[in-house]
Structures are given as structure tokens and as C-alpha cells.
Structure 1
Amino acid sequence: MLHSNLPEPQLLKILLEPLLDDYQYWFSRANTLLRTEVIPFLGVESQQALLHRVEEAQRNVTAAQSLFQATDGQVGVDTAVLMNWHKLVTECWQIAHQYRSSK
């Protein structure tokens, strides 16, 4: 098991901190794509709805990062929340890939 001898806060810092940074990065990229490009296969309403979901996820990740930093790594994020973010990132990756392939 990875770092199984570390105290829980250090383990959270090693695993969760970079994961939250990754979510910020990918949501930022998706946000930029959805704001700057017309994605014909999505349609305007679907694109706006996805953008809204991405923006909400970005705010939630920012809040989680702030709490994590303010508590010196004493606060984690529920696995169900992480899975929802992961699903959204995956959806955005698929759309970006399909968009690039269609150009």
C-alpha cells in the first residue's frame, strides 16, 4: 500500500492535494473550450449546461482546496464527490476529443 506508514494528514496531502490541482487544471481547460468554441454536436443549450456544471465543479474544488489548506490537511473530500468530479472531467475529455476529431 502506498505510504501506509504515514499519518493520515500527510497521506491526504500526498494524494488529495495533487488530485485537487488536477481537477482545477482540467476544469479550467474545459471552461475555456466551452466559453470560446461553438461545439455543434452539443447544441447551444447543452453546451451552456455543461459549462454551468464545470463552473460549479470549479467553485467546489476551490472551496475544497481552501478548506484543505486552512485546516493544514485535516479535511478530506468525500469519495462520492471525487467520483462526480472524475465523471465530469471524463465527459469533458470525451467532448474535447470529439470536437478536435471533427475539425
Structure 2
Amino acid sequence: MAAVLSGAKTTTTSLLRRYEAEGEPLPVPGGRSVLVDSPERPVALVEVTEVRVVPLAEVDPGHAPDEGEGCATVAEWRSSHEACRHGAPVREAIGGPVS
């Protein structure tokens, strides 16, 4: 949450298959949500400004630093997200391996 509040994190990534597996619609530009702290107190209002669905290999270089996870390059970002998307929690959430 600190990265969002400081402005270091201005973008995020989700797996499309996870939305599909959970029957959830994709976020839409203009959508808003409240960011809450551990005691469930509202601390910020987050607004979706853009939604893009692209293959992992096509994520642009600007996305890596904007996600605020410490990845300096898009190659480093892709490597960390490849490892995550093939992990057990993701496989369980989408009902199988990511293809």
C-alpha cells in the first residue's frame, strides 16, 4: 500500500484467465475503489484510467517501473511475473497451468 500512497506504484498486472475463472468482469476506465489499511480504514481512492489486455511478451518497458515492485527493466519484470504466474496459487485459482 505504501507504494500506491507514495506514487511509486501507478499500475498493476492481473492474469486475464484469473478473471475468467472467477467469473469477474475486467476493471473499466473510470472505475473506482477504496484502498483500506489493516484496520479497514479508508486511506485512498484509486481510479482506473486504462485497461489493456496484452500477452506478457508485449508488456511495454514503462510498465515495469510503474508497477513499483523494484524491477528496473521490462525483462526483469517479465521474469518475475513468469515465475509467479506458474506458481501453485495461480494454478489453483484458474484450475490448471497457464498456457
TM-score range, shorter chain: under 0.3
TM-score by length of 2: 0.26
- The structure whose residues are more often strand, as a share, is 2
- The structure whose residues are more often helix, as a share, is 1
